[in-house]
Every structure is written in C-alpha cells, then in structure tokens.
Amino acid sequence: MIKNLVGFRKELEKVNEWWLTSRVKEAERFPFRREAFNEIRKEIETRRCLVITGPRRVGKSVLLKQTIQFLIKEGTNPRNILYYSLDDPTLYTFSDNLIKDLIDYFLENIAKKGRKYIFLDEIHVFEGWYKWIKAYYDKYENLKFFLSGSSSLALQEEANKYLRGRIITLEIFPLSFLEFLRLSGLKIKEFKLEDIFKLDELEIKKLWYEVKEYFQEFLVVGGFPEWFEIKGTKDEVERWFRRLIEDVPKKAIYEDVVKLFGIKNPRVLELILTFIAANQSKILAYETINDVAKLDRSTLLNYLEFLKSSYLLVEILKFARLKEQLKAKKKFLLLDQGIRNAILKEYEIREENLGFVIENVVGNRLYLISKEKNRNLFYWKINDEVDFVLRGEKILPVEVKYRDEIKPKDIKGLLNFMEKFKVKEGFVITKSLLKREKMKGKFLYFIPCWLFLLLAF
C-alpha cells in the first residue's frame, strides 16, 4: 500500500523524466552504445522478461536508459515506460510493497493504451522479487519486463523455479579492449584472423602507434566505463582505484553477498579476493586459499561461489575428464584487471608482474568469448602446461608468452597438447611478434597481445 500518494508520485516523476519531457538525460549523457545494446534490441518485442546481469558499475543502468531512449524514438508513448532502481531507498519510505505498488500505480495512473515496458534496476535487492514478476507476467500479456541485477541470478534456485520459461538472461561484462578504444574515440575495427596476416609491417606499426597508449592504460585501469569520467583529472588513477574499490568489490561483498546469502563474516571474502588478486592466473589448490580463509571446505567452496556470482572472480577448471576436474587444482582470474590493481594498489604495471597481468587480460578475453559463444574455458597441465583451452565445436589452445623471442621450449607444452588431442591450430600470445608457422603438421599463430584482443572469434 502507498502511504503517501503525493510524495510517491513526485519521486516517481523525477526518476521517469520522459513522462513529462520525452527525453532520457542519462542516455544523452552517455551516447556510446556497447555491443550488448544490439542484443537488447533483438529482445524488445519478445514476450519473455529480459534479465541483465553483471558486475556493479559495469553500465547496466545506462543500457536500460539507452533502451528507453530507443523505444521513445521508435514511437513508444513515453508514459508507457516505467523505470525504477530497487537499490534507491527513496520510495521505500512511501510503500509497504514497492514492486507491487510501482506496477499498480503505473498501470492505473500513468500508462496509456498499447504495450507497456517496465524497467526494474538492481532487482536482486528486493526479497522475493521473482514472485511478483511472475504474477504480473502471467496476468498481463502486454507487459515487457527488463530487469537488472549485480549478482548472478542463475544461483537463485527459487528465481529459476518461479520464472522458468519466462526469462532470458544477458550477461554484461567490463569493456573489451575494442570497446575501450571506441569509447576513447578511436575508430578501430575487429579483425578476422586471416585479415591480420594480410597487413604489412607498416600497417601493423601504424596501428600499434595508434593504440599503444590506450593498451597500457587498459592494463592499469581495466574496463569499467566510469573510468572515462575521472580520466584527465588530478591524481586520476588513485581517484579511480578508490572509487572502483568502493563501488564494485566492497558493495558486492558488503551489500549484495551479505544480503543475498546471509554471510556473517564478509571480511573473509575480502581476504580471499585479495589473496587471489595477488596470485591471479596461478593454479591453486583450495587448501592453499584456505591458508588465508581458515574455513571448513564446504564453506570455502560456498564463499568462492559467492565471489563468482558477484562477478568478481573467474574459476577455470582443468581440461580433463569430469572426475579429474573435480579433484584438480583450479586457475583463478579476477574478472577485471583494474580491480586487481586497485586491490593491490599497483598504480602502474611492473615488469616483474607483466606476464601475469597479460595472462589475466587474455584469460578474461577468452572467458567473455566462452560466455558469448557458449563455449567452455579450461587450462591444461600434466608435465607441461597450456594457459588456456577454449572448447566449442573445435578445441583452441592459447599459450601466453609475452616476449619478443619465442624459443622451442616456450611452446613445448602447446605442441604436446596439440599432438595429444589432435588439434590443428593454436595461438601464442606475444609482445610484438606476429607470424604464422607450421610446426610438426600444426599451425601456430604468434600474435601480439594487443592485436589478439581485437580478434573476432
């Protein structure tokens, strides 16, 4: 029940400015549209609820506002669009049941004839949200829901149970290097593998000189879009790291995880995250992590799941049979290199850590590809090791050797893997070396990291 109707409407009109102006100011402030926007457009006229998940501050709200702007420009009556962020406490003071009161008030007092669009941001903070979405979805055929959350909703069994067959999920991640360049104002294209080797030496050098500064910047600050609001100010990196820590891992741990999963000692989550940040890209046993956490095994595994569901960690399994996978050590990455640098207060990339940094960045790129293309990402190790193995219709091994000179021993593990599993093609990620070579009947592509990050898969 709405306790103060005047106050409720007044606050709602502030948030839904387009009811009065037909303008969406936040979308106007941030005109750059990410690749994910095209995926959202495809779902606009479908029946199912679109659930957008991803880390905090990754740009989900901007994508929702850009979608609202698109709807209005395409002819939707602005009064048929409702938006509210459930982590905004303002309207809770006027309402006993905010989702119900929002939708009922919108349908009864604001909306006109025609299809109606309801955007509910950070919906995961509202307990039992899925029950209300199901009720309205089943009752009104002309309602389209766009929902966003900062924790992986796939782990919420009740949500899956209530909304099975009614939702489609789109995951949003930090900016890829290509998006980072485009948001920086560069008109850079994505390359197909065959096109890279058609470039001559001068074309490669010209492209490198164009992106070099941004590549080094990307390695330090990561891919969260808000960096571009701070860039160019005094002490920009220090200020950015402070904001990044407060807005992403701390809020994810102390607000999302604590509330969703009832964690009594969130400080342990911080310790685990910091330990993995310091040991990113290394192959770790759970027992090694537990030297810091000091938890029983089942609790440790749950805590790692919480960090993964909050889009802070990526856990990579060994390329092996399922039984061996479960027993084997795991490789851990932080989902964003900027978060790792912020946690460890590394304001510039040090030479001694450069290899691990590059491996993390390459691993994140491959992880995003695995999510987009419905593939799986592994590492491989017996006596030799391969940093990453991307498995889909075919197996693609990737070895990171961030140097200019690659010796035979550097790719021994890669070649052994390719021989063992009858794989024809593999990648070696280098510093500046670009070539393709046939070795022992296998095709190896040696590609500089920055160029690999611009490669289409």
- Over range 272-281, report the average pLDDT: 93
Would you say residue 160 has pLDDT above 80?
Answer: no
Would you say residue 155 has pLDDT above 60?
Answer: no
Would you say residue 157 has pLDDT above 70?
Answer: no
Instruction: Classify 267 in phi/psi space as left (phi over 0), alpha (psi -120 to 50) or beta.
Output: alpha
265 or 332: which carries more pLDDT confidence? 332
Question: Do residues 195 and 207 lie in contact, with contact meaning Cβ atoms separated by under 8 Å?
Answer: no
State how far the Cα of 239 lies from the Cα of 66, in Å rounded to an integer.
27
Strand (E) or helix (H) holding 50: strand 49-53
Instruction: Classify 112 in phi/psi space as left (phi over 0), alpha (psi -120 to 50) or beta.
Output: beta
Would you say residue 154 has pLDDT above 60?
Answer: no
| Residue of 452, 446, 453, 441 lying closest to 427 (CA atoms) | 446
Residue 124 is classified by DSSP as G
Least confident of 62-71, 88-97, 160-169: 160-169
Question: pLDDT (tens digit, 9 = 90+) per residue, 44-54?
Answer: 999 999 999 99
- Over range 259-283, report the average pLDDT: 90
State how far the Cα of 190 lies from the Cα of 365, in Å rounded to an integer.
14
Question: Do residues 388 and 367 lie in contact, with contact meaning Cβ atoms separated by under 8 Å?
Answer: no
Per-residue pLDDT, 113: 95
**Any idea what the Cα angle at residue 179 is, between residues 22 and 236, rounded to 5°?**
90
**Tokens representing residue 201 in the block:** 């030496």
Cβ–Cβ contacts within 10 Å for residue 60, how many?
24
The domains located in the chain, with CATH, are: 5-172 (3.40.50.300), 350-457 (3.40.1350)
State how far the Cα of 312 lies from the Cα of 118, in Å rounded to an integer.
28
- Over range 19-38, report the average pLDDT: 95
| Residue of 93, 88, 92 lying closest to 120 (CA atoms) | 88
User: In the structure, what pLDDT confidence band is assigned to residue 279 with cuts at 50, 70 and 90?
Assistant: very high
User: In the structure, what pLDDT confidence band is assigned to residue 153 with cuts at 50, 70 and 90?
Assistant: low
| Residue of 297, 294, 282 lying closest to 334 (CA atoms) | 282
Question: How confident is the prediction for the chain on average, in pLDDT?
Answer: 93
The position carrying tokens 């000179």 is 405
Question: Do residues 343 and 277 lie in contact, with contact meaning Cβ atoms separated by under 8 Å?
Answer: yes
Would you say residue 355 has pLDDT above 90?
Answer: no
User: In the structure, what pLDDT confidence band is assigned to residue 296 with cuts at 50, 70 and 90?
Assistant: very high
350 or 362: which carries more pLDDT confidence? 362
Question: pLDDT (tens digit, 9 = 90+) per residue, 372-395?
Answer: 999 999 999 988 899 999 999 899
Per-residue pLDDT, 152: 66
Question: Do residues 427 and 449 lie in contact, with contact meaning Cβ atoms separated by under 8 Å?
Answer: no
Percent residues over pLDDT 90 in the chain: 82
Question: pLDDT (tens digit, 9 = 90+) per residue, 243-258?
Answer: 999 999 998 898 888 8
Per-residue pLDDT, 117: 98
Per-residue pLDDT, 264: 82
Question: pLDDT (tens digit, 9 = 90+) per residue, 104-127?
Answer: 999 999 999 999 999 999 998 888
Please tell me whether the overall predicted TM-score, pTM, comes out greater than 0.95 for this model: no
Question: pLDDT (tens digit, 9 = 90+) per residue, 216-237?
Answer: 999 999 999 999 999 999 999 9
Per-residue pLDDT, 66: 98
Question: pLDDT (tens digit, 9 = 90+) per residue, 396-455?
Answer: 999 999 998 999 999 999 999 999 999 999 999 999 999 999 987 889 999 999 999 999
Per-residue pLDDT, 149: 87
User: In the structure, what pLDDT confidence band is assigned to residue 324 with cuts at 50, 70 and 90?
Assistant: very high
